[in-house]
Amino acid sequence: MGDAGSKPGKNTLKLSDSDFGIEPSVDALPDCLMSSSACVEIRDQTGAMAQVLPELGGWLVRYQRPLPGHGLVEALHHDDAVIARYPREMWAGSPLLFPIVSYNHVPGADHHYPWAGQNHPMPAHGFARKTPWKVTAQETDQVELELTDSDATRAVFPFAFRYRLTYRLQEGRLHWQQVIENLSSEPMPFGVGFHPYLPMPLSAGSKRSDCVIRIPRATRFNPIGRGDAYFSEPFSEQELPATVDTGATLLLGNLRSQELALVDRAARLEVVVNWEGAPAYRFCALWSRTPSENFYCLEPWTCLPNAFSRPEDRELQILAPGQSFEASMWMEVRPC
């Protein structure tokens, strides 16, 4: 057998389009949702800029930074046409995944999860990315968003919670700080993740074949069935060509360092995603719908797909009443 990272194996979990953001057709997004009141923009002294759409699931839709010799460089894939098709498509920016990542199923029912003897419905990647968030604080270079439980969330996730997320620009780097609180009187289980879509390639003068994904030594997790169990194998430190097909999703864990990067060798640019400040994020999913897409996803997750149906693997976060979960991450585009 060749290098474990050279191509997805035949047992790799094949996730459907619905697992990555496609929903039944809806009307185009009203223009008012991209207005100055609905689109929150932050900037720092370097000229770096990020945009968030709180009403559209707290969706981070843009992060760009000026770099010498390159002008403004996009670190996230930005696509106004995709935004206009929300929530049917979210193949841009960085959608928020909560209270599950990917999908969960129970015998006889897709998109359901078991808890406390009952099965509950739950859409792919959870409801956070399709629920309006509130802006609770804002400064020139940072914004704090908040999502709390409601009648709609409690219908599928019977817990009281508060999820706060702060985006902050500092010296061109985009930081985010995450706090999730259990406001219920009973333990609250969840999975959580981020789904950043990175531009592919990073420069108009480059090609996808010029790009690689820099990955530390890790363990590759291969699903059995539909994530009913997983078997693992070593994954060597490498620069994975971006032309390798990851449409079936490459699932990694036990990473030697919690940092991956998309490297555009021709442009001598890279986008780094670092979650050393988030030890609960034990896994990372690598995904691009096809080898010719203009995006590539590096997704830190706290658990693998179907985690609620595999309690013996202890991947879920379970907060006691009054307990909080905290994590911090950053990303940046920079010369290399």
Amino acid occupying residue 36: S
What's the predicted TM-score (pTM) here? 0.90
Helix (H) or strand (E) holding 177: strand 173-182
Amino acid occupying residue 126: G
The whole-angstrom separation of Cα 75 and Cα 227 is: 31
pLDDT at 31: 52
* Topology adopted by domain 17-335: Beta-galactosidase; Chain A, domain 5 (2.70.98)
* Per-residue CA distances from 106 to 112, 207, 219, 296, 306 (Å): 6, 42, 26, 30, 9
Residue-by-residue DSSP string for 130-176: GS--EEEEEETTEEEEEEE--HHHHTTS---EEEEEEEEEETTEEEE
Q: What angle do CA 9, 214, 261 make, to 5 degrees?
A: 115
Secondary structure (3-state) at 1: coil
pLDDT at 11: 43
Identify which of 283, 293, 225, 212 has the alpha carbon closest to the alpha carbon of residue 250: 283
Instruction: Give me the tens of pLDDT residue by residue for the chain, a chain 336 residues long.
Output: 333 333 344 344 444 433 433 333 333 444 545 554 489 999 999 999 999 999 999 999 999 999 999 999 999 999 999 999 999 989 999 999 999 999 999 999 999 999 999 999 999 999 999 999 999 999 999 999 999 999 999 999 999 999 999 999 999 999 999 999 999 999 999 999 999 999 999 999 999 999 999 999 999 999 999 999 999 999 999 999 999 999 999 999 999 999 999 999 999 999 999 999 999 999 999 999 999 999 999 999 999 999 999 999 999 999 999 999 999 999 999 999
Domain ranges of the chain: 17-335
The whole-angstrom separation of Cα 246 and Cα 286 is: 7
pLDDT at 316: 98
